[in-house]
């Protein structure tokens, strides 16, 4: 079962990466489009997707708080794929040097580690999500702290987009 889940996550990541050029069209659907775009952008494991730029741009068009809430919720659900990859691919992630460092942080203060790493744009969060999965952090705890961090990040980006529009006008 774990192998099937891991293969499914890898397949989803490759598919989402392949459709990244069409992602901007989803933003035209307002908050549900932003939610879906964020979900797709963050469901990729270790592959880049263009979610943050859309949040920045949509913050200048729609209510930044609404954009942040929709994008934060979508990103959180997307990040769950990293958690599942860690849960299912334990042997792969445990050989990583970054895993060793994150594992120590997660064991000492898992929620704070998830909050801080999800609140800043960085490629390390995929490994943090996988580490949470390997360590079997309770799913509700992972999702809560990830959602808070992702929403903070999206709020900063959305307000940055809204402010840039006012600056240009």
Q: What is the mean pLDDT of residues 58-77?
A: 91
Cα–Cα nearest to 58, from 72, 45, 47: 72
Whether 3 shows a pLDDT value over 70: the answer reads no
Q: What is the mean pLDDT of residues 44-57?
A: 70
Q: Crossing angle, helix 64-88 and helix 125-134, to 10 degrees?
A: 50
Q: What is the mean pLDDT of residues 149-164?
A: 89
- Cα distance between residue 3 and residue 43, in whole Å: 18
CA angle 122–126–132, rounded 5-degree value: 125
Q: What is the pLDDT of residue 15?
A: 56
What's the pLDDT tens digit per position in 102-123?
788 888 998 999 999 999 988 7
Whether 16 shows a pLDDT value over 60: the answer reads no
Domain boundaries, the chain: 2-50+67-155
Q: What is the pLDDT of residue 131?
A: 86
Whether 86 shows a pLDDT value over 60: the answer reads yes
Please indicate, yes or no, whether the overall pTM of this predicted structure exceeds 0.85.
no
Sorting pLDDT into bands at 50, 70 and 90, what band is 57? confident
Q: What is the mean pLDDT of residues 35-55?
A: 76
Choose the weakest-confidence range: 3-17, 56-70, 87-101, 130-144: 3-17
Cα separation values, 57 from 10, 36, 131, 147, Å: 29, 16, 32, 21
């Amino acid at each position: 079962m774990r192998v099937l889940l891991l293969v499914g996550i890898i397949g989803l990541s490759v598919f989402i990466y392949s459709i990244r050029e069409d992602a901007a069209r989803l933003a035209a659907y307002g908050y549900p489009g932003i939610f879906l775009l964020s979900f797709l952008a963050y469901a990729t494991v270790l592959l880049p997707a263009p979610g943050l730029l859309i949040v920045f741009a949509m913050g200048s068009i729609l209510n930044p708080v609404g954009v942040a809430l929709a994008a934060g919720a979508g990103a959180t659900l997307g990040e769950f794929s990293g958690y599942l990859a860690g849960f299912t691919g334990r042997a792969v992630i445990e050989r990583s040097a970054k895993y060793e460092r994150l594992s120590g942080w997660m064991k000492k203060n898992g929620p704070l580690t998830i909050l801080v790493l999800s609140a800043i744009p960085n490629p390390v969060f995929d490994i943090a999500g996988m580490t949470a999965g390997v360590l079997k952090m309770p799913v509700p705890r992972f999702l809560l702290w990830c959602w808070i961090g992702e929403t903070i990040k999206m709020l900063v980006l959305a307000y940055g987009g809204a402010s840039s529009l006012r600056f240009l006008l």
